[in-house]
Amino acid sequence: MFDSNFIPLMRVVQSVRYNKKKNSCVLMEGWLVHFTSKDSMRKKHYWQLDSKCITLFHNETGGKFYKEIPLSDILHIEAFDSKPNGLAKDGETPHCFELLTDTLVYYVGERRSTPQRGHNRADSGDTWYRMIRKALMPGMDDSSTPKKSSQSSIPGAFLEPQQNLDISHMYQIFPDEVLGSGQFGIVYGGKHRKTGRDVAIKIIDKLRFPSRQESQLRNEVAILQNLRSHGVVDLEAMCETPERIYVVMEKLHGDMLEMILSSDKGRLPERITRFIVTQILMALRHLHAKNIVHCDLKPENVLLATEDAFPQVKLCDFGFARIIGEKSFRRSVVGTPAYLAPEVLRNSGYNRSLDMWSVGVIIYVSLSGTFPFNEDEDINDQIRNAAFMFPKNPWNEISNDAITLISSLLQVQIRRRFSVDKALSQPWMQDFQTWLDLRELETRVGQRYITHESDDARWQRFAEECGIEYPQHFVMGPQYDETEEEDEE
C-alpha cells in the first residue's frame, strides 16, 4: 500500500479520455435499389449506415449481408441531378446519387417522376444522400469551405492550410473513436481514404473561443509545422473552415499514463522508465535548441509509437507551448497544475527549465505510481523533508541514483534545476542496459537519432571489462543529428 498522504497517479481532468463504444449506433437504415459501374443489374438490399460503414443486408432481420462499404473507402459522393449529364438513358429510371470508391462506382436509389404508392423521398434516396454525406465528415457543416491561409502566432512561422482542401475527400473521421481531448479540441480516430492509413484528427471548434484567442488556437499547428523530429508527433495535414480547424496527425498506440496504470504494480521498473525518459529528454533537447518550451509535459502527452515492451515515444499536445529564448522568461498561464513548477503556480516568471521540473514529476510518478506532492502542504516544506518525499514504500526498492536525479530536477530555485544535458549526464541515465535498449530501438526504427556514435567505444570497453558480449547487429549510421539539420536550414 502507498502512503495515504500521497495522491495516486490518475488521468488529470485537463486530458479526459473517452472509451470507445463497443458498437457503432445505426444512423439510418432502409431498402435501397443500386447498381454499379461493373454490374448494371439493379439489386435491392436493406442498407444500414453507421459511423464507420454501410452494410447491405439481404433482409431486415437476418445477419447475413451482401456487402460492406467502409466509409473510409468512399472517395466522393455526388447527387445525380447535380452532374452535368444528369440524365438517364431512355427508358431507365434515374438514380439519386453516386458513391465513388477507388475501384467501383455505386449508383444508388431511384428518382421516379411519379412516386409510387408507399414511397417517399427517403425511399428515393434523397435522405440517404444527406445522411451519408454527413457521416463522411462528422462535425463539418456543408457550408464550410477551406480557408486559404492564416498567420501563425509563432514568430517566423507561417501557417499554411492546404488550399482548397476538402478534408472529407481525403479522410474519414470516426466520431465513436475518441482518442482524447486537449486544451482546445477533441482528437478522433480516422483513416486516409486512398491509402487506408490510420490517422488521428483533432477538431478545434473556433466558435468556442473569443477572436483574441484565435492565434493561440493555431499555436500547436504552427509549432508542429516547424518541427521535424523522431521524438515529436508527425503533422500530416491541416484544414481550416470559418468554424473549425482540422489537424491531421499520425495515429499512435496509447500513452505513457496508460502504460504506467496498466503495469503489474501500477508503476514502471527503472529500466523502462529510464528508457522512456531518455527519449523525452532527447526530444526536449531538440525543442529547447529551437527555443520551444512544451509547457505541459505529463505522461498523457507522451504517446507510444509502438506496442512493444520498450516502445518508441513521441511528445504531443503543443497547445501550451511557448517560444522562450535561453535567457528569457514568460508569465502567461500554461500547463497542468500537478506537473507544473512552483514558479508558474506562483505566477512568477518561468523559462525552459519549466519542462525539466515536469520531467522530474514524470520520473517520480513512473517509479512510484503516486504524485510527489500533497496539495495541502507547501512544496518547499515537502521537498526539504526527504522522508516525506521518498517514503520507504516503494522508494526502498528504487536506486539512490534515481532519487538523486529526481531531487535535482524538483528544485524550487530555477538556477539550481538541471538542464537537459545535465540530466542526461547523470549516473542514473548513464546505464549500459539502457544504451543497449535504445540501440535496439534505433535499429527497429532504422535511424540513429538518440544515441551518438562517440559513445560506442566507451560502451564497447565497458562490455569487454565486464565480460559482456557486445551486440553487432545495431544500425551503425550515418549519425542523424536533428539539431544540426535544423541549423543547416
Q: Note the pLDDT tens digit of each residue in 105-148.
A: 999 998 766 555 555 444 567 889 989 988 887 766 554 444 44
Q: Look at residues 345, 254, 286, 266 and name the one whose alpha carbon lies nearest to residue 15.
A: 254
* Chosen domain end from 250, 267, 290: 250
336/423 same-domain check: yes
- Is 342 inside a domain boundary? yes
- Is 22 inside a domain boundary? no
Q: What is the CATH number of the domain that holds 240?
A: 3.30.200.20
275/239 same-domain check: no
The model's pTM is 0.74
Q: How far is CA 320 from CA 1, 70, 216, 218, 286, in A?
A: 35, 36, 8, 11, 17
169/227 same-domain check: yes
358/278 same-domain check: yes
Matching residue, cell 472529407: 168
Q: What is the CATH number of the domain that holds 403?
A: 1.10.510.10
Q: Which domain holds residue 47?
A: 28-112+122-136
Per-residue pLDDT of the chain (489 residues; tens, 9 = 90+): 555 567 777 766 544 333 323 345 888 999 999 999 999 899 999 999 998 899 999 888 888 889 999 998 888 888 886 555 544 555 566 889 999 988 899 999 987 665 555 554 445 678 899 899 888 877 665 544 444 433 333 333 334 545 446 788 889 999 888 888 766 678 899 999 889 999 999 888 777 766 556 666 667 777 887 788 899 999 888 888 888 888 899 999 899 999 999 998 999 999 999 999 999 999 999 999 999 999 899 999 999 998 899 999 999 988 788 888 665 555 565 677 888 888 887 777 888 999 999 999 999 999 999 998 876 677 777 777 666 789 999 999 999 999 999 999 999 999 999 999 999 999 999 999 999 999 999 999 999 999 999 999 999 999 999 999 888 877 665 555 565 555 554
Q: Note the pLDDT tens digit of each residue in 26-76.
A: 889 999 999 999 998 999 999 999 988 999 998 888 888 899 999 988 888
* Chosen domain end from 386, 410, 430: 430
218/91 same-domain check: no
Q: How far is CA 305 from CA 110, 204, 312, 372, in A?
A: 47, 23, 5, 27
- Is 189 inside a domain boundary? yes
DSSP string, 161-200: PPTT--HHHHEEEEEEEEEEE-SSEEEEEEEETTT--EEE
202 is in an annotated binding site: yes
Show which residues are catalytic. Answer: 296
38/175 same-domain check: no
270/212 same-domain check: no
67/94 same-domain check: yes
- Is 450 inside a domain boundary? no
How many domains does the chain contain in total? 3
367/379 same-domain check: yes
Q: Note the pLDDT tens digit of each residue in 68-106.
A: 999 988 888 888 865 555 445 555 668 899 999 888 999
